[in-house]
Amino acid sequence: MKSGRLSSSMEDYLEAIAALKKEKGAARVRDIGELLKVKKPSVTAALNSLSKAGFVLHERYGYVDLTPEGRKIAADIQARHDILVKFLTNILSIAPQIAAAEACRLEHSISPATMAKLTKFMSFVETCPEGRRPDWLKGFDHYLLTGKRPRCKIGKIKAELPEK
């Protein structure tokens, strides 16, 4: 099992361990099972696989810790999750609870290239020189509320862009 090809489930375990360590200072099999809503034998089997792959340290009946590689993967998963939640809530105006659930599913399947562009897009929006929600996003908000498109300035912008 290579870090680039962990299953969604295995990524969820790494993310859960990191979250528990951050929240409680330690991760235990029982806590991981409660967080992921799975039974202890499933947690133990997953931890054994992750341990063999070099992503976690776990002794029977002991605490679970992430290896440096496991921490790196967990941090990457959390970063993808955070960007997706921001996009879904701040751009698409999806309710936070729904956005978090959707982000959990999307974070495992989005390609690195798409994630990189989405990250840049969010940075672009968040660093708006106006210091507030850009006008074009306000236009989208209006469209979401009314179903009617406001006058669009995008044609002028497209005309100014160089051809690809």
Q: Does residue 93 belong to any structural domain of this protein?
A: no
Per-residue H/E/C for the chain: CCHHHCCHHHHHHHHHHHHHHHHHCCECHHHHHHHHCCCHHHHHHHHHHHHHCCCEEECCCCCEEECHHHHHHHHHHHHHHHHHHHHHHHHCCCCHHHHHHHHHHHCCCCCHHHHHHHHHHHHHHHCCCCCCCCHHHHHHHHHHHHCCCCCCCHHHHHHHCCCC
Residue 59 CB neighbours (<10 A): 9
Cα 25 to Cα 19, 63, 64, 151: the distances in Å are 9, 10, 11, 53
Per-residue pLDDT of the chain (164 residues; tens, 9 = 90+): 444 579 999 999 999 999 999 999 999 999 999 999 999 999 999 999 999 999 999 988 789 999 999 999 999 999 999 999 999 999 999 999 999 999 999 999 999 999 999 999 999 888 877 768 888 888 888 889 999 888 766 655 556 667 76
CB 64 within 8 A of CB 32: yes
Q: How many domains does the chain have?
A: 2
Please check whether residue 103 lies inside any domain of the structure: no
- Which of residues 32, 57, 73 is at a domain's end? 73
The confidence score (pLDDT) of residue 127 equals 87
**Which of 18, 16, 14, 64 has its CA nearest to residue 37?**
16
CATH number at residue 27: 1.10.10.10
Indicate whether 51 belongs to any domain: yes
Last residue of a domain, one of 28, 55, 73: 73
Name the residue range of residue 152's domain: 128-164
In a domain, 78, yes or no: no
What local confidence, expressed as pLDDT, does residue 3 receive? 44
Is 114 domain-assigned?
no
Q: Does 120 fall in a domain? A: no
What are the CA-CA distances from residue 86 to residues 12, 72, 110, 123, 157 (Å)?
Answer: 19, 21, 15, 11, 25
Structure tokens at 111: 């390609």
Last residue of a domain, one of 42, 73, 104: 73
